[in-house]
Amino acid sequence: MTNIKSIIEKSMKEIKSKGLKGQINVISTESKNASFSNGKLEQLTEGEKGAAGIKVISPDGRTATSSSNILTEEGIMQAVEKAIEMTKYTEKDEANDISNDEQFTYIDWAFDADTKDMNLDEVMKLAQELEKKAKSEDERIKFVRGAEYEVALTRIHFGNTNGLYKNALFTNAASSISLAAIEGEDSSFGFDYQLSQSYRLIDIDRIVKNSVEMAVSGLKSEVLSSGRYDIVMSPFASSMFLGTLITPLSGENVYKGKSFLKDELGEKVANSTVTLIHDPMNGSAPIIASFDNEGTNTSRFNVIENGVLKGFLHNIYSAKKLGAKPTGNSFASVESPNPSIGTINLHFIANKTRKDILNVPKALYVTNIMGMHTADPVSGRFSVQISGRLIENGEFVRSFRGMTLAGTLEELLNNLEYIGSDFKYLGPVAGSTMLIRDLSVGGK
């Protein structure tokens, strides 16, 4: 793809010659991956995959998209022609447009040459080491479902008919493990993961410790009595909660009336201690973006500030529909090269340490949530299965499983009191230890 910029220029020239507007994203990822299960190599792969996403807009706002995983001039130009042809069949909508933001920052600190240059044998040895350490950590660890290590290099090229061309290059390293502890007839699963810009920042020992502790602590767990409990969410659990907020915060869903927050702009929607930010330029995050996949420049902004809803996550379309400005929240991937509203680094602002949060008289410490993705973005209602440990006087005293946490996302936001500084990145969000007061939990 050494001539990708010239291909982008040619494709945009073709779209412009038809009197149309257009944009293109070309995304490719080179990756090396290895995973072990019970002493056996389960997967060992090395390769590159890529895709191009094209969007074309007519003068009256008719829009069409197409994509291609053939990143040659011929493959991309065929996709362009297909998108041009399809515009005649779509509806008029003047809110469809393209960016005119000139590039202001090229981020190079998200790239680590040593991570890029790791060979497959090195990746395999790290995955194998992860599994061996987990098995030797505790004799009750009898089964490792998967110990995985991966490094990747991602390239992004963006262009449009306004003459914009932007590109980015970044590396990632990721490691995860899932395992089981068995004692007598009782068993319990544990897991952990870590994502970073560089393999040097992946702490295998910590991944092993966290996953083994989770599995072992789950042995002899029980169903506790139903009632209202203070809930302490682990970083993993809180990231799942935070991820469910992306849909109701999406400007497109707000415009369509598919959000419980649609009439709440400028209103108090959370505890006054809560501030939620989108920060795609955070240098400590695993993924950094100075522009989104519509070419809009990104910046840090407050979504919720001291409990008040300050704004939504916008692409160009939703911003025009709601009379706002694009916020740089339109993102794509190799799997979905035509962008949709999303986030890069969405997280709450910390106001306590993890140690202080855990020092509560009584609470349920939730380590795993099943079904959080089923929360209804319109009503905000959810009902999920939870497991974890009971805290009494700042100490873990026993474990629980098979209990039901039910309520609304609005209730979670308003009852959220403390947010820890122990951030853990899970895809587009970063969770941390959080204390949410007085929630309804079903048990025995």
Taken in order of first residue, the domains within the chain and their CATH numbers are 4-218 (3.30.2290.10), 227-442 (no CATH)
Does residue 149 contact residue 33 with C-beta atoms inside 8 Å?
yes
Q: Identify the pLDDT of residue 329.
A: 98
Q: Identify the pLDDT of residue 109.
A: 74
127: left (phi over 0), alpha (psi -120 to 50) or beta: alpha
Q: Mean pLDDT over residues 159-170, rounded?
A: 95
Instruction: Enter the pTM of the model.
Output: 0.94
Does residue 208 contact residue 395 with C-beta atoms inside 8 Å?
no
Question: Taking all residues of the chain, what is their mean pLDDT, rounded to a whole number?
Answer: 95
Q: Mean pLDDT over residues 394-419, rounded?
A: 96
Tokens 């990708």 belong to 4
- The set of residues, in sequence order, having a beta carbon less than 8 Å from that of 409 and lying 6+ positions away, is 244, 245, 248, 260, 375, 380, 382
Which of 251-260, 277-286, 347-356, 408-417 has the weakest average pLDDT? 277-286
pLDDT, one tens digit per residue, over 192-220 is 999 999 999 999 999 999 999 999 999 99
Q: Mean pLDDT over residues 26-50, rounded?
A: 96
Q: What stretch of H or E contains 237?
A: helix 235-244
Q: How many CA atoms lie within 13 A of 398 on its CB side?
A: 7
Q: Identify the pLDDT of residue 2.
A: 56
Q: How far is CA 5 from the centre of its chain?
A: 29
User: Is pLDDT above 90 for 394?
Assistant: yes
Tokens 């969770």 belong to 431
User: Is pLDDT above 50 for 1?
Assistant: no
Q: Mean pLDDT over residues 47-56, rounded?
A: 97
pLDDT, one tens digit per residue, over 237-254 is 999 999 999 999 999 999
Q: Mean pLDDT over residues 158-174, rounded?
A: 95
Sheet holding 186-196, edge to edge: 63-68, 40-57, 21-37, 141-160, 165-183, 186-196
Distance in angstroms (rounded) separating the CA atoms of residues 30 and 35: 17
Q: Mean pLDDT over residues 104-109, rounded?
A: 70
Q: Identify the pLDDT of residue 256.
A: 96
Q: Identify the pLDDT of residue 266.
A: 97
User: Is pLDDT above 70 for 106?
Assistant: no
Distance in angstroms (rounded) separating the CA atoms of residues 406 and 246: 19
Q: How confident is the model at residue 284 (pLDDT cuts 50, 70, 90)?
A: confident
pLDDT, one tens digit per residue, over 8-19 is 999 999 999 999
